Chains A and B, each alone.
Chain A
Amino acid sequence: MDRRAFVRRSCLGGVALFLDHWGTSPAYGQDLIPPVPPIHVNEPAVTAVSPQRMPGLYPGRVVEISDDRSIVSNRVSQSIVRQMIDRGMRELTGEQDPGQAWSKFIQPQDTVGIKINPSGAPACCSSPEIVREIVAGVQSAGVPARNIFVYDRYAYEMDIGSYQALVPMGVRVTGVEENKLDVSGYDPNIYCEANFFGEWETRSYMASIVSTGVSKIINVPTMKDHSAAGVTGCLKNLGYGTFNNVDRSHRRPFSFTDPLIGIMCSVEPLRSKAVLHIMDGTRMLWHGGPLSQNPDFIFPAGVIMVGTDPVAMDTIELEKIEAKRRDEGAPSVWSRDPKSLTNDGGAFYQDASKNLFYRQPHHIAAAGKLGLGVSDRKQIEHQVIHIA
Chain B
Amino acid sequence: MRAGHATRPQRDPIVLRLGKTVLGTNALLAFAFLYVPILVLIVFSFNESRSVARWSGFSLEWYQKLFGNEALLRAARNSLLIAFVSTLASTAMGTLTALGIDRYRFRLRNSFDALLYLPIVIPEIVMGISLLLFFNLALFPLLQALIQVRPTLGVPTIIIAHIAFNIPFVYVVVRARLVGFDRTLEQAAQDLGANEWRTFWRITFPLLLPGILGGALLAFTLSLDDFLVTVFTAGTASPTMPLYIYSLVRRGVTPEINALSTVLLAASMGLVGLSLTLQRRR
Decide whether A and B are members of one complex.
no
Which A residues have a C-beta under 8 Å from some C-beta of B? none
Which B residues have a C-beta under 8 Å from some C-beta of A? none
